[in-house]
């Protein structure tokens, strides 16, 4: 269900709903509440980051019909904060309420093979790949896919459910280790660097895009995103155009992130998409006029999309649970005073009660007057936290 052209926007005081109680839902709640909206969160956990700040926390499974109906009765529009929410739950909500994104778009993002097909159908290039459903498929795939990366088709994130394979024999072993789950084999690319682009598309097909961020991953988890203007204009334009084309092709409503490989020869290939605000877009909270989370609320409420221009060069440094332990594995609290003593820093913690290694606990946004100052500040914050900066 979508709001018809000419319908009045939702007024402040109206309710918006979100499936998922993690940190992305928390930051959505805060952005929507700043605009005057109330937010209901549906999440099965007794305590969760979004539930702590929401106006109402409906504690139930994501596919609980009674809970979904309760959310629909309360909220005029709903969204999701992670892509593995059941697509049918969004479809059910969309019968009577605005769902942004739609269940169909989320279903595409849940399956890497469907995702690759949709990206290609939108005219956006991707890496050479093959569907792997059996050992026979590995035997039949071309030699040009090696070396490659074998990934489960569903439910992989932050480096999970994937393995680099140098040869067909290694691919067979990796496929067995993944218990024969449906997979996709992608040829490794001559990578120069990785970028991502966040776009927002409203209920009437109008869209905006943010400047791309350059991303650094460690152990498959995003460590640092930098939006300092260092991506050449031609590459930035290609990536932003591709992301907008994909959003149009999906008839997407909401915030969408598309990750890209930039190859050494200058080609730009789409890697994957996330039908929600994204870790790499956190820099928009402090570095842009309107954040990705406010854009999400604006789409749902039928408000005009906000400006995406940069206020200053900005970066996002991820804070994983490892920082809460010293070299001997003893619990400790990171030096927040030292972090905040670095000019241009904004600390965002997610309210999670327990730190675990590789768990996303928060992030630091860092601003600078120019790229040189920004990178100097990234290095200073990284030194305070005992991290190596990129």
318 in a labelled binding site: no
112 in a labelled binding site: yes
Q: Is residue 256 within 8 Å of 106, Cβ to Cβ?
A: no
Pairwise CA distance, residues 113 & 131, whole Å:
7
User: What are the backbone dihedrals phi and psi of residue 54, each rounded to the nearest 5 degrees, phi first?
Assistant: -70, 160
Pairwise CA distance, residues 163 & 148, whole Å:
9
Polymer length of the chain: 390
271 in a labelled binding site: yes
User: What are the backbone dihedrals phi and psi of residue 152, each rounded to the nearest 5 degrees, phi first?
Assistant: -65, 145
160 in a labelled binding site: yes
116 in a labelled binding site: no
Among candidate residues 247, 209, 216, the one with its CA nearest the CA of residue 388: 216
Among candidate residues 323, 360, 352, 350, the one with its CA nearest the CA of residue 338: 323
Task: Give the three-class secondary structure for 119.
Answer: helix
159 in a labelled binding site: yes
344 in a labelled binding site: no
351 in a labelled binding site: no
104 in a labelled binding site: no
Q: Look up residue 362 and give its two tokens.
A: 């928060």
From residue 228, alpha-carbon distances to 3, 162, 232, 316, 372 in Å are: 37, 31, 11, 11, 9
Q: Is residue 281 within 8 Å of 318, Cβ to Cβ?
A: no
Q: Is residue 11 within 8 Å of 71, Cβ to Cβ?
A: no
Write down the number of H helices and E strands in the chain.
Answer: 13, 18
151 in a labelled binding site: yes
Task: Give the three-class secondary structure for 221.
Answer: strand
User: What are the backbone dihedrals phi and psi of residue 13, each rounded to the nearest 5 degrees, phi first?
Assistant: 105, -20
352 in a labelled binding site: no
Could you list the residues known to form a binding site, using ranges.
112, 151, 156-162, 194, 217, 271-272
Could you list the residues known to form a binding site for ATP, using ranges.
112, 151, 156-162, 194, 217, 271-272
């Amino acid at each position: 269900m979508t709001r018809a052209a000419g319908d009045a926007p939702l007024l402040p005081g109206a309710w918006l709903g979100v499936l998922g109680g993690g940190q992305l839902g928390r930051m959505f709640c805060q952005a929507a509440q700043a605009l005057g909206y109330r937010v209901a969160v549906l999440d099965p956990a007794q305590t969760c980051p979004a539930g702590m700040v929401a106006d109402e926390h409906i504690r139930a499974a994501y596919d609980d019909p009674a809970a979904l109906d309760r959310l629909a009765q309360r909220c005029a529009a709903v969204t999701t904060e992670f892509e593995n929410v059941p697509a049918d739950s969004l479809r059910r909500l969309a019968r009577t309420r605005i769902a942004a994104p739609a269940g169909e778009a989320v279903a595409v993002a849940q399956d890497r093979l469907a995702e690759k097909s949709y990206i290609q159908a939108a005219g956006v290039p991707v890496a050479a790949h093959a569907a792997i459903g059996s050992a026979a498929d590995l035997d039949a795939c071309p030699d040009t896919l090696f070396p490659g990366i074998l990934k489960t088709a569903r439910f992989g994130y932050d480096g999970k459910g994937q393995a680099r394979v140098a040869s067909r024999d290694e691919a067979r072993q990796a496929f067995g280790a993944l218990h024969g789950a449906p997979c996709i084999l992608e040829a490794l690319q001559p990578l120069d660097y990785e970028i991502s682009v966040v776009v927002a598309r409203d209920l009437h097909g109008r869209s905006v895009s943010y400047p791309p961020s350059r991303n650094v991953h460690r152990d498959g988890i995003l460590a640092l995103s930098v939006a300092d203007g260092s991506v050449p204009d031609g590459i930035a334009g290609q990536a932003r155009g591709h992301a907008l084309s994909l959003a149009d092709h999906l008839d997407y409503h909401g915030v969408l992130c598309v990750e890209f490989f930039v190859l050494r020869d200058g080609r730009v290939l789409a890697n994957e998409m996330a039908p929600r605000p994204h870790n790499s877009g956190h820099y928009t909270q402090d570095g842009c006029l309107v954040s990705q989370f406010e854009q999400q609320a604006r789409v749902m409420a039928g408000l005009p999309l906000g400006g995406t221009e940069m206020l200053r060069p900005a970066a996002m440094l991820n804070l994983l649970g490892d920082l809460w332990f010293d070299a001997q594995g003893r619990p400790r609290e990171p030096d927040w005073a030292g972090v905040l003593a670095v000019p241009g820093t904004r600390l965002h913690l997610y309210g999670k009660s327990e730190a675990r290694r590789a768990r996303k606990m928060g992030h630091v946004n860092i601003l600078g007057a120019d790229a040189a100052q920004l990178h100097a500040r990234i290095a200073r914050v990284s030194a305070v936290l005992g991290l190596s900066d990129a």
